[in-house]
Amino acid sequence: MSQVFTLPDVGEGLTEAEILSWKVAEGQTVTVNQVICEIETAKSVVELPSPFAGTVLSIMVTEGTTVEVGTPIITVGDSESAPSGTPDPGYTGSAPKDGVEGEPTAEHLGPREESTSGSGRSMDSSESGQALVGAGPKADPVRRRQRTRTAMRIDAEQPQGLNEQGKPAPQQDQESAKGGAARVAAGWADRFSKSGIGTAAQDLADKAGKFRDRGETWLRSLDDTAPQQQGAAQASIPRRPSMAKPPVRKAAKEMGIDLADVTATGEGGQVTKRDLLAYAAHLREVEDGPDTFWTSTHAPARSRDERIPVKGVRKVTAQNMVRSAFSAPHVSIFVDVDASRTMEFIKRLKTSPHFEGVKVTPLLILAKAVIWAAARNPQVNATWTDSEIIIKRYMNLGIAAATPRGLLVPNIKDAQDLNLRELAIALNELAQTARQGKTQPGDMQGGTLSITNIGALGIDTGTPIINPGEVAIVAFGTIKQKPWVVDGEVIPRWITTLGGSFDHRVVDGDLSARFMADVARILEEPALLLD
């Protein structure tokens, strides 16, 4: 008796494979699980073991040929007893040549189990005692070749126990259907026996009867199951993974992504690399989305409050600001400035070889302007005591810097002695040191006048608080284009707002106004620094 081995489904929904090489030849004896050939799929090269033991009667597919799953590729059996050119009745690929014309094939004897093997054989693997290649659950049934024979009984097509609408039939109808199927099976077995096929048809009919009995038991269990359990049963069905090339599958495995969740846009329904990356980006947006500051009202009261201890730099800064605000009488004035020429000057400095590698910002020009204006109005660079006013003939220029530790105001020692390039370098080093948290206490002591650059935060102006020991501070607002009247015409210009706070015990209204006007003059015309 010969046994036909069809190309099995090697998994992951593949429908075809190429025969690379045969490891056996016709007339050679093979054993169960002996490698008989190598096949190449869209995913890998696989060795196929033989599910049968016996002699190779024929090799049906040549090397290099691509065949579909379910196609016969080799016949194994007893060469002495097997008739030449007659395949085993268990083979589902074609009907026997000596069958009666118009008779149905063996598959019409009853329902078949499609989920037991990818080999295409109808015999139950547990009864035959032979291991089938590709055994196990599949997401989709294997596609079969179109039959040429058309004669068929309607009652043989319809599963037993179901009516025409696919619903469970009444018990009486099921019993009659069971008897009719048995008569049909017996009749076809007799016909196959007459055609010379032997007892194989009867075996198929018996197996169909067993499958019908199991189907009836399953239908009765469905009737006894609650409707709410159907959803859970459907959820337990394994999903079919999407098709993708090996590199994409490897990347998905490393990223922990199930390809079945990815929408495929590639040819033939394949998941491309772009699809995988787009899905990964979506997951990041969902998982790492913006955190909300607000806490739900259902959360415990303790978790809705965040407590930050007041210590270190923040505590000292707070004490100094309170002491300054309540001990020094503040007076503030503001002035709008056309800084268009300053912006042009900054542009020229950035392209100058002398300033190569040096960061140049409008704050540099303001710092130089404050030093220049303080020389013309020395009393703004002073300290108040209850007994005297101390005017300082040096400038320790403080620059307010926001850091993770809080607001710091380190100062540039003897800023009046620095040229424009040296002052730019000093400003950059001061800011970097403050942001890195490496500012030393000595760098924040001995300040004489300070600048706060609130324009870096997009703020136009504000009322700054004077640092303790000083009598003046300048707030530098953002520079932006605004409509400005020039010679009777409205044109866009770069405009900023300067704000100044002064200790009125030392700096009165006249002195503060003249100092702020001098600073504004430099921003309007930086060439005055050449005087």
Rounded to whole angstroms, what are the CA distances from 95 to 84, 104, 147?
Answer: 15, 9, 8
Q: Which amino acid, one-letter code, is at 405?
A: R
- Are 396 and 415 contacting, i.e. CB atoms less than 8 angstroms apart? yes
For the record, the structure tokens of 67 come out as 């065949």
User: What is the chain's length?
Assistant: 531
Q: Strand 489-503 vs strand 472-476: parallel, antiparallel, or unpaired?
A: antiparallel
- Are 505 and 384 contacting, i.e. CB atoms less than 8 angstroms apart? yes
For the record, the structure tokens of 309 come out as 């201890």
For the record, the structure tokens of 310 come out as 């007041």
Q: How many CA atoms lie within 13 A of 79 on its CB side?
A: 10
Q: 515: closest CA among 384, 380, 392, 398?
A: 380
| Alpha-helix residue ranges (DSSP H) falling in 87-229 | 125-128, 154-157, 171-194, 200-224
* CA-based torsion, 310, 312, 317, 323: positive or negative: positive
Bridge partner residues of 481 (DSSP) = 494
Distance CA(516)–CA(63), nearest Å, equals 93
Q: From the candidates 108, 282, 298, 504, which is the catalytic residue?
A: 504
Distance CA(117)–CA(135), nearest Å, equals 4
For the record, the structure tokens of 209 come out as 């009867």
504 counts as catalytic: yes
Q: 159: closest CA among 141, 126, 181, 142?
A: 181
- Are 398 and 475 contacting, i.e. CB atoms less than 8 angstroms apart? no
> φ, ψ for residue 137 (rounded to 5)?
-70, 140
Bridge partner residues of 500 (DSSP) = 333, 474
Within 8 A by CB and 6+ apart from 168, the residues are: 161, 162, 174, 219, 222, 223
Q: How many CA atoms lie within 13 A of 305 on its CB side?
A: 5
> φ, ψ for residue 512 (rounded to 5)?
-65, -40
Distance CA(379)–CA(136), nearest Å, equals 94
For the record, the structure tokens of 388 come out as 């005297």
- Cα-Cα-Cα-Cα dihedral of 141, 143, 149, 154, to 10°? 30
Helix/strand/coil for 397: strand
Residues classed as catalytic: 504
